[in-house]
A and B are shown apart, each in its own frame.
Chain A
């Protein structure tokens, strides 16, 4: 039981680049030696900026793409060793929620048909029992059962994301990976979907991997967090600890860059280097305010116990600035916000 539900070991995925004549021209080193474990019933967040490899990692974890090297174990079973038929059967246990609810639903399929599809595919309910299961799933995500007869275009972005979540839950998965599941939504609608995800994770005992660049949402729902930079993990640990006492300079820079905390100076200079030719040594050294000669030469290893960081200097860095609660609205605002509590079913 203590065995993790999902275990990634030394995963690597490079996407080869070719020029116009089809000749090999290097590779995008999207994921470069990642090891992670996700305990049952917990939420792991993978954070990082665009191009860090977090989405590729999510797809590798579900074996939607094949790694160049490394292993993926789900419930103790090596996914790479499974036959295609066995993998298909396993799919009901692992689902993915995408960022864009507009692209992930087939416009020619009613909402009910879209949710029933995985039920049929995996022969989960007996013939004729689909309608009631679809109705149940719709209610579970806060939509009216009558929505089953309607078409995706009749729904707002937030409602479509609820439909996509219902479809992902249809097969009764044990592991759900959400790839930026709320990023395409407006702020007020994001809160509705974050509340829904938190409920589902708790009530269904889901194991959830949240891929996100939104550190507020990560802090809100993750138990553990892994920070990625240029294809590898630079820090990993309990979310509360990583946010309160980040050990890697990149994690510190990410936290300092979150707007709304009165920090006006940019935390670090420059852009993320190209994943085609990542810097030697520590990949962050080109932007790191603390870098030394060693950092330019030797790649650091992800070290430490329950809170790991890949930084040569992690024991010598000055303490990270504290995250103080900057809430000018205080008690009055909290009391007013208490009126904004969801009633349950949404239109």
Chain B
């Protein structure tokens, strides 16, 4: 087991009171596998990524356990966590332009990681950086290594970020919406590159995304998050074949497909009415209940994330959902 998270909670101190962005979250990822954390804005997926990386802001309080290769991370002090970042775990962000330094060339930034963690000399680090840029399929890597971020396309900048993340062969790679800012043809290239690197290096990947299509093509396992909690957790193929949380069911029907839906053009899409709850004042019990077509009086109690079969867990009193179809 590369990453094992148990009962993770993150609470932010805000002017309007404590905000629990992540609540009682548990999952694990093995080497060479991709776990997707999927959900909409504010569901806690990016906060989870920052918590694993030890990059939470000072007003955040973390509880629960984050184990990397069996070693507890949540009790590390910031300096220890910084030493592990880059070497044992690394992250690729959504917007490469804001995470790259505009004042240094692509090659210098990759080389910097190598000098810091592998104590390579300047010349050796730069040569390794060029090799890494070539490895992430940047054409003409030796020339591109001498260019600044603004001279590179969005896709190439994201490749530079991936090269930096993989420079020290981390055991865990966290990719937070790594292709959301990219065009669809370039997105396909970057996701294929991440798959290929994962296969070759055996690194474990946590893929944070809002796109269920990406989950279907690139994840082995999935956690669906809603309003800070895990709604459902399953192997990816199982989630798409037999979703057992009403939120997952709604999400799957909300995005129209290019094949055309069963209802045809202009037919009504499944629509989750209303909006996500305010996490400063979350509803009592199941947080999805106010938007759920199957809610009842029992939903004022929080349903536990319970297995309905080995490896497939859902937090819903109605599960298995075949009950509501039979009713």
Q: Which residue of B192, B210, B217, B271 is within 8 Å of A195 (Cβ)?
A: B271
Cα distance A59–B33 in the bound complex, in angstroms: 46
Q: Which residue of A187, A256, A265, A336 is within 8 Å of B321 (Cβ)?
A: A336
B260–A240 CB distance below 8 A: yes
Cα distance A330–B253 in the bound complex, in angstroms: 12
Q: How far is the CB of B238 from chain A (nearest CB, A)?
A: 9
Q: Which of A192, A202, A268 has the most CB of B within 10 A?
A: A192
Size bin of chain A's contact surface = 35 or more
Q: How far is the CB of A287 from chain B (nearest CB, A)?
A: 8
B-chain residues with CB within 8 Å of residue A266 when the two chains form the complex: 185, 188-189, 192
Q: Is B325 an interface residue (CB 8 A)?
A: yes
B325–A243 CB distance below 8 A: no
Cα distance A328–B269 in the bound complex, in angstroms: 18
B271–A333 CB distance below 8 A: no
A347–B271 CB distance below 8 A: no
A216–B275 CB distance below 8 A: no
Q: Which residue of B243, B260, B268 is within 8 Å of A243 (Cβ)?
A: B260
Q: How far is the CB of B158 from chain A (nearest CB, A)?
A: 11
Q: Which residue of A329, A340, A346 is within 8 Å of B243 (Cβ)?
A: A329
Q: Which residue of B217, B240, B253 is within 8 Å of A259 (Cβ)?
A: B217
Size bin of chain B's contact surface = 35 or more
A-chain residues with CB within 8 Å of residue B139 when the two chains form the complex: 270
B255–A262 CB distance below 8 A: no
Q: Is B156 an interface residue (CB 8 A)?
A: yes
A-chain residues with CB within 8 Å of residue B294 when the two chains form the complex: 339
Q: Mark B133-176, 1 if CB is under 8 A from A, else 0.
A: 00000010000000000000101100000000000000000000
A186–B188 CB distance below 8 A: no
A-chain residues with CB within 8 Å of residue B267 when the two chains form the complex: 220
B-chain residues with CB within 8 Å of residue A272 when the two chains form the complex: 153, 183
Cα distance A335–B325 in the bound complex, in angstroms: 7
For residue A268, which residue of chain B has the nearest CB?
B185
Cα distance A140–B173 in the bound complex, in angstroms: 47
Q: Which of A159, A267, A328 has the most CB of B within 10 A?
A: A328
Q: Is B102 an interface residue (CB 8 A)?
A: no
- Stretch in contact with the other chain, from B13-21, B89-97, B244-252: B244-252
A220–B256 CB distance below 8 A: yes
Cα distance A50–B271 in the bound complex, in angstroms: 28
Q: Which residue of A191, A223, A263 is within 8 Å of B217 (Cβ)?
A: A263
Q: Is B272 an interface residue (CB 8 A)?
A: yes
B-chain residues with CB within 8 Å of residue A264 when the two chains form the complex: 191-192, 195, 217-218
Known contacts A192-B271, A220-B261, A269-B189; A49 and B212 CB within 8 A of each other: no
Cα distance A263–B216 in the bound complex, in angstroms: 10
B270–A337 CB distance below 8 A: yes
A-chain residues with CB within 8 Å of residue B11 when the two chains form the complex: none
Q: Is B309 an interface residue (CB 8 A)?
A: no
Q: Which residue of B241, B256, B275 is within 8 Å of A217 (Cβ)?
A: B256
Cα distance A70–B93 in the bound complex, in angstroms: 43
Q: How far is the CB of B227 from chain A (nearest CB, A)?
A: 12
A191–B252 CB distance below 8 A: no
Cα distance A190–B325 in the bound complex, in angstroms: 26
Known contacts A329-B243, A340-B249; A258 and B273 CB within 8 A of each other: no
A-chain residues with CB within 8 Å of residue B153 when the two chains form the complex: 271-272
Known contacts A259-B187, A346-B274; A340 and B325 CB within 8 A of each other: no
For residue B210, which residue of chain A has the nearest CB?
A187
Cα distance A241–B262 in the bound complex, in angstroms: 17
For residue B181, which residue of chain A has the nearest CB?
A50
For residue A243, which residue of chain B has the nearest CB?
B258
A186–B189 CB distance below 8 A: no
Q: How far is the CB of A130 from chain B (nearest CB, A)?
A: 28
Q: Mark B187-202, 1 if CB is under 8 A from A, else 0.
A: 1110110010000000
Q: Is B293 an interface residue (CB 8 A)?
A: yes
- Stretch in contact with the other chain, from A23-31, A85-93, A319-327: A319-327
For residue B254, which residue of chain A has the nearest CB?
A191
Q: How far is the CB of B307 from chain A (nearest CB, A)?
A: 19
B271–A187 CB distance below 8 A: no
Known contacts A323-B259, A332-B322, A346-B274; A259 and B243 CB within 8 A of each other: no
Cα distance A262–B258 in the bound complex, in angstroms: 13
Known contacts A257-B185, A257-B188, A272-B183; A339 and B324 CB within 8 A of each other: yes
Query: What are 13 sample pairs from A and B whose C-beta atoms fall under 8 A apart?
Result: A49-B184, A186-B41, A239-B265, A240-B260, A243-B259, A243-B260, A253-B185, A254-B185, A258-B213, A259-B191, A260-B257, A271-B153, A340-B272
Which A residues form the contact surface with B (CB < 8 A)?
49-50, 156, 158-159, 186-192, 194-195, 198, 201-202, 213, 215-217, 219-221, 223, 239-240, 243, 253-272, 323-326, 328-330, 332-337, 339-343, 346-347
Which B residues form the contact surface with A (CB < 8 A)?
40-41, 139, 153, 155-156, 183-189, 191-192, 195, 210-214, 216-218, 237, 240-243, 246, 249-262, 265-276, 293-294, 321-322, 324-325
Beyond the given pairs A259-B214, A270-B139, A271-B153, 15 more chain A to chain B contacts, judged by CB atoms under 8 angstroms and listed by A's residue number, are: A187-B251, A191-B253, A191-B269, A195-B268, A213-B183, A220-B269, A243-B258, A243-B260, A259-B211, A259-B213, A260-B214, A268-B185, A328-B237, A336-B321, A341-B271
